[in-house]
Each structure stands twice: as structure tokens, then as C-alpha cells.
Amino acid sequence: MKSRLCDLVGIEYPVIQGGMAWVATAELAAAVSNGGGLGIIAAGGAPAEVVREQIKKCRELTEKPFGVNVMLMSPFAADVMQVVIEEKPAVVITGAGNPGKYIPAVKEAGIKIIPVIASVAMAKKMEKDGADAVVAEGTEAGGHIGEITTMCLVPQIVDAVSIPVVAAGGIADARGAVAAFALGADGIQVGTRFICSDECIAHQNYKDAVIKAKDRDAVVTGRSTGAPVRALKNKLTREYARLESSGASKEEIEQLGVGGLRRAFAEGDVQTGSLMAGQSAAMVKNIEPCADIIRSYFEGIDDILNGIREKMI
């Protein structure tokens, strides 16, 4: 199972791990890269020097290529980008904004740049600005999201650009991977399922919450403030919904979310923490090693294709 994405970034399976703040540490990134995918360290809202330490740690844990996800809404984004350019991981993934101004310097450093985008216009702009590939992230994904579903976003982006397209959002197993490739994707990005890996350092309570989640449990808050976020339903999301419908100020609503990720991922507070996760949480059933998760996306593809042929009478 190889695609042009594998050649672009030097991996065995066309799977990129999602850049989840507080979850995507050096340990997870190295495990995914050692398993043949592209492991990603998420900078999230961390200061640049913390990210540098994570890159160094990841290098101790794997000799395979890995990447860093730079969250562009972070106040430290410019400093993080500078550290990344100095440390030269194989790939930079960006999220939550337009990385255009950073692309020339990243490429100059010999690093591949793959922006996460949620619209056709942004995909075209990224290709024009020199991006090596794009991640087309549908609204099924966890965390900060766009509005279009993976099913509708991926084929439109595949038709609009000629660089490789990585599908993201809602891809929980081999069936999802086959669907993504059928839509024209060159690879998949997987976030939520890697939370439930042996190597992920997130709190056990958070992993248990993902495993317990059912179809309607990954809800969106923050639409009224212009930064919609998908997370598992709990006391925090209910309080968010209450504030949003009561006409509270943007500041008051945003204040509620401060520290929420740390409470969920580090302290295991599943009630007032922000349990960011995608709709695929409902399909995650157990905790496994990253290498097994990666293989599970690609084993059984022939059976799925044969199943399709058998259905067509």
C-alpha cells in the first residue's frame, strides 16, 4: 500500500497522525513513525522551546521521518515556526489558519509543508503558494473544524489541485480508508483513533471517554464565536451551549474554554475538561499499539473491494 504521499515524505503506509495538542507528544509521534506512518508532534499552544525539546526527544525515539503540527492561532506560532526551521523535521503541518507567509522559509530549509485546509479556495491558494500537499479536513474531525463533510470536501479538493490530497475527519477503520482513496485521496490523516493507542500519554479517563462515546456524543460548540470546536459531550460542552444561547459575550464564552485541554488530557477531568475528539470516537473500541492501528487501516482492503463487487448484482 503505497501512494505518492509515501514517496513525498518517506513513509511506508499513507497515513499521517493528526496534530492533537497535549496528545500528540514525541512518544506518540515516534510510535506512529516507527509503525510506518508519519508521526506528528503537535505544538498546540506550547512555547517554542518546549517544541524544540519534543523534536529532540522524538529523534531519540525514532530514526524515521516525523513532522510538527504548527497551530497558527497560537500566540507562539511565529517562534515555533522559527524553531522548526532550525530543527528541520521532515514535515511541517499547519492548522487553524493560512500559513502562506511561512511557506518560502520552510521550503528553503528543505522541509515539506502540508497545510490542513477546510475549503476549496484555501486548497487552491496553498497549491499556488507552494505547499507540497494538503490535508482536506472534514467537519467530522475533532477540535477546530470547518463546515464541509469529508465526503463532499475531498473530491472537490482532488478536482481543484494537482498536489497530493490527504483526507481527514471520520476515518476510523479500513472502510473509511477505502472510501477516502475512492474519493481520490492519496493518504489519510487519523487523529481520534490514535488517542486510544498504548503509546499515547493522554490520561486513561480521556481514553475511556473516547471508547465509551456513541454516535451523537462528539458535539460542536463555539459556532457563535466563529471558532467551532468538536469535543465529547460533558459538563463543559453543556455549559458552553447554555452560555452561547443566553447571549453571553464572546469573552465570557471563550473564558470557559481556557485550560480545558490540559484538564482533560493531563488531569483526566472528563467533566470540565475539553475532550476534543472527532465523530469517529464512536467507532473506536479498544486501546492498541500504534503499529497495529496503522496496519488495521490497510489490511482487509481487498476484502472490502471484493465485498463491493459482490454487492453489485
Does residue 136 interact with ligand TUI by CB under 6 A? no
Interacting stretch for ligand TUI, rule CB under 6 A, among 96-104, 154-162, 197-205, 244-252?
Answer: 96-104
Select from 67, 95, 273, 278 the one that contacts ligand TUI (CB under 6 A). Answer: 95
Select from 64, 112, 144, 263 the one that contacts ligand TUI (CB under 6 A). Answer: 144
Nearest approach, Cβ of residue 52 and ligand TUI (Å): 20
Select from 46, 77, 106, 117 the one that contacts ligand TUI (CB under 6 A). Answer: 117
Between 165 and 204, how does the x/- string for binding to ligand TUI read (CB under 6 A)? ----------------------------------------
Q: How far is CA 25 from CA 144, 168, 221, in A?
A: 19, 20, 25
For residues 199 and 202, give the distance between their C-alpha atoms in angstroms, rounded to a whole number: 9
Q: Contacts with ligand TUI: how many residues (CB under 6 A)?
A: 19
Q: How far is CA 57 from CA 48, 71, 293, in A?
A: 14, 20, 23
Residue number, 81 or 145, with CB nearest to ligand TUI: 145
Q: Which residues of 136-158 are buried (b: 16+ CB within 10 A; e: fewer)?
A: bbbbbbbbbbbebebeebbbbbb
Interacting stretch for ligand TUI, rule CB under 6 A, among 22-30, 56-64, 110-118, 289-297?
Answer: 110-118
Does residue 308 interact with ligand TUI by CB under 6 A? no
Select from 211, 227, 266, 301 the one that contacts ligand TUI (CB under 6 A). Answer: 227
For residues 24 and 290, give the distance between their C-alpha atoms in angstroms, rounded to a whole number: 12
Chain residue at closest Cβ approach to ligand TUI: 143
Residue number, 5 or 43, with CB nearest to ligand TUI: 43
Nearest approach, Cβ of residue 300 and ligand TUI (Å): 28
Q: How far is CA 205 from CA 25, 28, 180, 230, 234, in A?
A: 18, 18, 31, 18, 13
Q: DSSP assignment, residue 109?
A: T
For residues 44 and 21, give the distance between their C-alpha atoms in angstroms, rounded to a whole number: 5
Three-class secondary structure of residue 191 per DSSP: coil
Three-class secondary structure of residue 236 per DSSP: helix
Does residue 266 interact with ligand TUI by CB under 6 A? no
For residues 242 and 224, give the distance between their C-alpha atoms in angstroms, rounded to a whole number: 12
Which residues form the interface with ligand TUI (CB under 6 A)? 21, 71, 73, 95-98, 116-118, 122, 137, 143-146, 227, 229, 276
